[in-house]
Chain A
Amino acid sequence: MTWSLLIEQSFNGLQLGLMLFLMAVGVTLVFGIMRVINLAHGSMFMIGGYALVATFAATRSYWLAVPLALVAVLIVAAILEILVLRPLYKRELLDQVLATFGLTLFFNELVVVIWGRIPLNLTIPAFLDGHVEIFPGIAYPVYRLAITAVAVVVGVMLFWLITRTRLGALIRAGSDKREIVEALGVNIGLLYTLIFGLGAALAGLAGMMTGPLLSIESGMGDPILILTLVVIVIGGVGSVRGALVGGLLVGLFDTFSRVLIPQFFGVGAGSALVGMAVYVLMAIVLVFSRTGLFAAHRG
C-alpha cells in the first residue's frame, strides 16, 4: 500500500464516517430521548436526495436548491412526527419497529410512483468539479473534500448546540431523565418535534451530499440505515459522542477493509469477507461491551 493510497482512502473513510455520524445522530437522539426506534430514518436520507433532485430541477441553483430541499425534509419529518411517531412514544418496541418499517415500505414505493424506477443522477456542482492536490502528487476530488468540510462544520455546530445552548441542555436533560424535564414545565411535545426534525434534516443533508456520488433511487437509504445501526451499536445508544466515534470507526474500517482484504485474500473469498468486515467489528465490540463504547444512559 502506497502513501498516496493510504491518504486517499483515509479521506474516503473519514467522509463515509462523517456521513454515518450525521445519520446516527438522528436515530440515537430519537431513541435516547423519545425512546422510539425509527427504522424510517433511511427514508429521510432518500427523501433528502429526491428533494434535492426536485428543487434543483426547479431552481437550477444548488445555493437555492439545498435549503429548499432541507425545508422539504423538515416538513415531511414534522408531519411524520405528529401523525405517526407521537402515538408510538408510549408503545412497546415491537409496535415502533413495525410502524416505522411500514413507513419505509411506503416511502420506497412513493418515490417510485413519483419519480419512477429508473435511478436519477445528481450532477456535481460545477464549482466543486475536478480535483485538487491535497499533498504533493496526490489529487483528490474537490467535491468529496467539500462535503467532508460541510460535515465537519455541521458536526461542530451540533456539538455547540448540544453543549452550549438551552435547547442542547434540554436535549441532554431529556436523554437523562425525561420525566423531570416534563415536570419542569418544558413543552415536551415541541421539543420532540424539534429533535425529530433535527435528526431528519441531518439525514436528509447526508442524502443530499452523498447523492451525486451514488444514484438517487428507491431504497437507497436502506443500506445506509443498517450501517447506521451498526454505528449506534458500536458507539452506544443515545450518545452523540458515541455516534461520532462509532461513525468514524465504521467509516474507516469499512473503507480500508474494501481496499486491503481483496489484496490479501484475493477477489473471490475477499468479497465475502469485505461484506462481513464491519459486522465482525460490531461483534468484537459486543464481546467486550454489551452497551457499546459510550453508553449514554442506563436503562
Chain B
Amino acid sequence: MGLNRRTLLHAALLLIALAVPLTGNIYYTRFATQIAIYGMAALSVDLLLGFAGLVTFGQAAFFGVGAYAAGMLSVAGWTDAFIVWPAAVAVTMVCALVIGALALRTAGFQFIMVTLAFAQMIYYIGQSLRDYGGDNGFALPGRNHLDGLLTLRNHVTFYYVVLALLVLVLVVALRLVHSQFGMVIRGGRDNERRLAAIGFPPYRYKLVAFVIAGGIAGLAGALMANHASFVSPAIMSWQMSGELLAMVILGSPGTLIGPIFGAAIYLLFEQILSDYTEHWMLYFGPLLVVRVLFIREGLWGFLVRAFGAQEAPQAPPDLAGDAIPAASGSEGGGGR
C-alpha cells in the first residue's frame, strides 16, 4: 500500500508539472522549465552525494561545460539538438573523467576542496574565453531544434521536451541505483574496505558514478544554454555548486526525486523573497544554517511521510552524512 501511495504522489506531481503550460502564462512555463533544468543538475549531485557518499562542491563546472559546449556548437552553426546535446554530454563526461580520476584519489574534506578547486579552474577558463564574451558570456543565435521533428522555439514545446528528458534521466538514474552497480556504489559509501575485500574496486566504481553524474549535469547545462539562449561563466561559479548542494539538501538526499523537489522549493523561494527584497541572500543564508542545524530531514522526506508513503527504512534521509566516517573520525567519543 505504501508503494501505491508513493506512485500516487509521483503521478500527482507529474500531472502538476504537465499542467503548468495550461495556465496560459508563458512566465510560469519558463519558470517551470528552469525548475526542471536545475532539478536535473541537482539530481546529478544527489547521485554522488546520496548514493556514492561523495560530497562534491564542483558540480557547477559540469553544468557549465555542458552549457558552453552547447553554446559554442550553436555559435559554430550546429543547430541540430540530436548532435549538439549528445556532444555536450560527451565533452562533459570527458572532463568529469579527468577531474574525477584526480579528485577521487582523495576523500572527505580534501575531496570537497579538490572538486571546488577544479570547478574554479574551469570557471577561470570560461572567464578567459575572450571570443566568447569572457566574463560577460555570450548569446546563442537561437535554440537548437530536434531535426526533422520539432523546432524548440516555442516555450511550451521546449518545456515538454525538457520535462520528458528529466523524467527519462530520473527513470534511468532510479534503475541505475537499484542495479548491481548501484548496490556496489552504496556499498562503497558504507564501507569501502569491505567492498574491496569482496572484489569490487571502489575507485573504479566511484569514477564511473562521477562520470555519469557529470554527463547528467552536462545535459542539464546544454538545456540551460537553450533555455536562456545565453551562457556566461556565472553558471559555473562556486555559488552555483553550493546552490545545487543546497537544493539536494532542501529536498532529501538519496532519493533522486527529492532534489528535483528541492530545486522547485529553492527557486520558488528565491522568486518570492526577491519580490520583497533585493537582498534575499541575507535571509537565505541564515535559513540554510537553520536547516542544517535544526531540521534533520529534507522536505521531500517530510512530504512523503505526511502523505503516508514512507519507503522501507533502507534509505534514511540523512544517509549522506554517514558516508564519511573517516573524515569525521573522532566524532562520537562520548558526547559532550
Contact = CB atoms under 8 A, between A and B. Distances in A.
Interface stretch (B152-160, B215-223, B242-250): B242-250
A106 B129 contact: no
A179 B330 contact: yes
Contact of A103 (B57, B285, B321): B285
Given A103-B285, A108-B281, A229-B116, A94 B105 contact: no
B289 interface: yes
Contacts of B124: 272, 275-276
A87 B114 contact: no
B171 to A, nearest CB: 26
B121 A275 contact: yes
B121 A113 contact: no
Nearest to B53: A94
Contact of A101 (B102, B246, B253, B324): B246
B331 A101 contact: no
A233 to B, nearest CB: 5
Contacts of B322: 92
B130 A271 contact: yes
Contact of B128 (A107, A222, A274): A274
B117 A98 contact: no
Nearest to A100: B289
Interface in B276-310: 279, 281-282, 284-289, 291-293
B3 to A, nearest CB: 29
Contacts of B249: 94, 98
Given A275-B127, A286-B102, A110 B55 contact: no
A95 B291 CA distance: 9
A97 interface: yes
A31 interface: yes
B324 A93 contact: yes
Nearest to A269: B128
B108 interface: yes
B282 A94 contact: no
Interface in B117-131: 117-118, 120-121, 124-125, 127-130
B284 A105 contact: yes
B199 interface: no
Interface string B69-108: 0000000000000000000000000000000001001101
Interface residues of A, number: 52
Contacts of A54: none
A60 interface: no
Contacts of B49: 94
A112 interface: yes
Contact of B117 (A102, A113, A229, A299): A229
B110 interface: yes
Contacts of B321: 91-95
A183 to B, nearest CB: 9
Contact of B288 (A99, A226, A274): A99
B313 interface: no
A93 B281 contact: no
Could you say which interface size class chain B belongs to? Answer: 35 or more
Nearest to B334: A179
A291 B106 CA distance: 7
Interface string A244-282: 000000000000000000000000100110111001001
B289 to A, nearest CB: 4
Contacts of B238: 222, 226
A37 interface: yes
Nearest to A27: B113
B329 interface: yes
Contacts of B292: 88, 91, 95, 98-99, 102
B125 A276 contact: yes
B219 to A, nearest CB: 24
A84 B289 contact: yes
Contacts of B150: none
A287 B282 CA distance: 40
A156 B245 CA distance: 39
B320 interface: yes
Which of A31, A222, A268, A272 counts the most B-chain CB atoms under 10 A from its CB?
A: A272
A222 to B, nearest CB: 7
Interface in A152-203: 178-179
A283 interface: yes
A90 interface: yes
B109 interface: yes
A229 B109 CA distance: 10
Contacts of B148: none
A131 interface: no
B119 to A, nearest CB: 9
B287 A102 contact: yes
Contacts of A92: 320-324, 328, 331
B333 interface: yes
Interface string A189-229: 00000000000000000000000000000000011001001
Contacts of A230: 113, 117
Nearest to A189: B336
Contact of B245 (A97, A104, A276): A97
A114 to B, nearest CB: 11
A69 B109 CA distance: 31
Interface of A: 31, 35, 37, 84, 87-88, 90-95, 97-99, 101-110, 112-113, 178-179, 222-223, 226, 229-230, 232-233, 237, 268, 271-272, 274-276, 279, 282-283, 286-287, 290-292, 299
6 contacts: A102-B286, A102-B288, A105-B285, A109-B285, A229-B117, A275-B127
